[in-house]
Amino acid sequence: MATKVLSLRLPEEIATEITAVARANGVSVSKAIRYAVEDYVAAQRADKAFKSRLKKRLEEDRELLERLAE
């Protein structure tokens, strides 16, 4: 799997907490954050309201792209 490097700014308290969680679980901070992001994305995919917002955005983007392609 290809990876992409991202910069992330966290409040000091959250950074300290994720570091402690990662250490307790014996994983890197990067891996702990990846797990959290994976969980967040999975939760969004299961959320009906999110799916509705996503479909609306897709329709808006499609309309814009079609206008630009004319």
Residue 9 has pLDDT above 90, yes or no: yes
Label residue 48 by pLDDT band (50, 70, 90). Answer: very high
* 7 belongs to a structural domain: no
Helical ranges in the chain per DSSP H: 12-25, 29-46, 48-69
Mean pLDDT of 23-42: 97
Q: What are phi and psi of 5, to 5 degrees?
A: -85, 130
Residue 1 has pLDDT above 90, yes or no: no
Domain span at residue 16 reads 12-69
Residue-level length of the chain: 70
- Nearest CA among 24, 23, 22, 31 for reference residue 3: 31
* 17 belongs to a structural domain: yes
Using a pLDDT cut of 90, give the percent of the chain over it: 99
- Count: domains in the chain: 1
pTM for the full predicted model: 0.79
